[in-house]
Structure 1
């Protein structure tokens, strides 16, 4: 039987976040060590989210929106808004600071916000690379189309299509839309689905080998091929990749295979040794 993880919801004041990974029952899925579903939430005019500057090490963050927008600013000087269909990929490496706030236009008008934020741990040999940020617009992402299935390859290689988002480890991450009655095979070890594989239903109704899947649950597939059948129009995510041989430790916003490196990052943040976000003097204390 597949492993089923239900997102653990937390109210952040005005909107909720469901923590899908990590959980006690499962700490990672391939290189994915963190996965949050943000919303859906409806903000009245004048309202929005304000995640003050905070640090990361040893990972890359992936922001993917279904509705609304988030304004990203970081210590590299990046300032960009992300909207549905685009990718914000931030490589923390040896250390980066960033903030996430509702853009002025959406805040003034009121809006619906719904998205996913994922962290993928960097390979040990890449854990201390220079920080970097990449924004990939929707028209740069490859698209897969089959009978009643439309998919966007966010990261990795799937269905013979390669995302422009580069990651130095086998990974797959895609958004899939299925019409009612459509079927999709998720093969094991072929077409880029190597390693661990998970399905996250976002909207609609879909069954996995006859098992109805609930929205907001991460379903980790068994070995072997699996088939998805949409019983109504459905939106879902596919995620996974090759697991690492080394255990990853998570402490606050830090990820590393070495607990001593995390302790150093905590000390550096407390002492103000991380770079600041230009124009955003606030920060989240450890």
Structure 2
């Protein structure tokens, strides 16, 4: 059985349409995953680009995965990295970091697709105030294998007797699955699991999960059956307990978020290297 099926809330970041799955009123987190946006697919027109201006984070890690397009990551510790389809960016905010995400200038001259996933991971309390860091993993270094004729890309974590090289701070799982109609797959044994369908339709227990829905199975539901050729992701891991979330800040302590807001208003965060002139102001009101 499924404990819940979450439908996306429609959002926009600039000209980019967003399906937001987490947090929701019904489900605040899945394991350590506290924020989940699916952006695109959308065709961007010539000379109009994606520009996410510098903004801060604390006490979390961001995870970015692309299906189409290119994005340049810059941050306040000097990281500069272009992420391409199949790659993964992991940014540890720790005690505080500022970053921007922009399309490269050279691809803005033509129409092009952009499509990807953006997540935030809550951190164990003992890691929340660590030094910020940034990690990039090319698609060639993320394990891809088959289980019962089903293709699995293990992006983060350990499952199906395989392990990803991506750094983790607690038990964490992120995998992308391509499965043919009629095939089945056994779910990894994790404390909490979520299944998000990118395309197609699958059944867990006796319930269907359709495109752009996030299903939360119970402990007894361990098998997935593909009703059509389908692509989906599995998220999961250990539960970290309550976390506070406001704007771009996550913490196990509400007063830490209040301090971060004051620091951003006073511009006490470090600037993004080579992207110092713009920033996103703290909103007066904000709902996730």
Common topology (TM > 0.5): yes
Is the CA contact 1:59–1:93 (under 8 Å) kept in the aligned structure 2? yes
Q: What residue in structure 2 maps to residue 226 of structure 1?
A: 222
- RMSD of aligned residue pairs (Cα, Å): 1.3
Match 2:264 to one of 264, 269, 273: 269
Q: Kindly indicate whether residue 75 of structure 2 is the aligned counterpart of residue 70 of structure 1.
A: no
Distance 1:238 1:98 in 2: 27
Distance 1:129 1:182 in 2: 43
Distance 1:196 1:249 in 2: 19
Aligned 1:202-217 pairs, distance under 5 A: 202-217=198-213
Distance 2:106 2:177 in 1: 29
Deviation, structure 1 residue 15: 2.6
Corresponding residue SS for 1:46: coil
247-256 vs 143-152, which deviates more? 143-152
Deviation, structure 1 residue 225: 4.0
Distance 1:243 1:265 in 2: 24
Gaps of 5+ in 1: 188-192
Superposed CA offset, 1:170-216 (max 9, x none) = 111111111222211114xxxxx321001000012222234221111
Q: Kindly indicate whether residue 155 of structure 2 is the aligned counterpart of residue 160 of structure 1.
A: no
Corresponding residue SS for 2:126: helix
Superposed CA offset, 1:255-284 (max 9, x none) = 101111111111111111101011212100
Is the CA contact 2:205–2:221 (under 8 Å) kept in the aligned structure 1? no
Q: What residue in structure 1 maps to residue 237 of structure 2?
A: 241
Distance 1:9 1:242 in 2: 28
249-258 vs 78-87, which deviates more? 78-87
TM-score (norm 2): 0.94
Is the CA contact 2:56–2:264 (under 8 Å) kept in the aligned structure 1? yes
Gaps of 5+ in 2: 283-288
Q: What residue in structure 2 maps to residue 190 of structure 1?
A: none
48-57 vs 143-152, which deviates more? 143-152
Q: Kindly indicate whether residue 118 of structure 2 is the aligned counterpart of residue 117 of structure 1.
A: yes
Distance 1:151 1:172 in 2: 13
Corresponding residue SS for 1:120: strand
Deviation, structure 1 residue 87: 0.6
TM-score (norm 1): 0.94
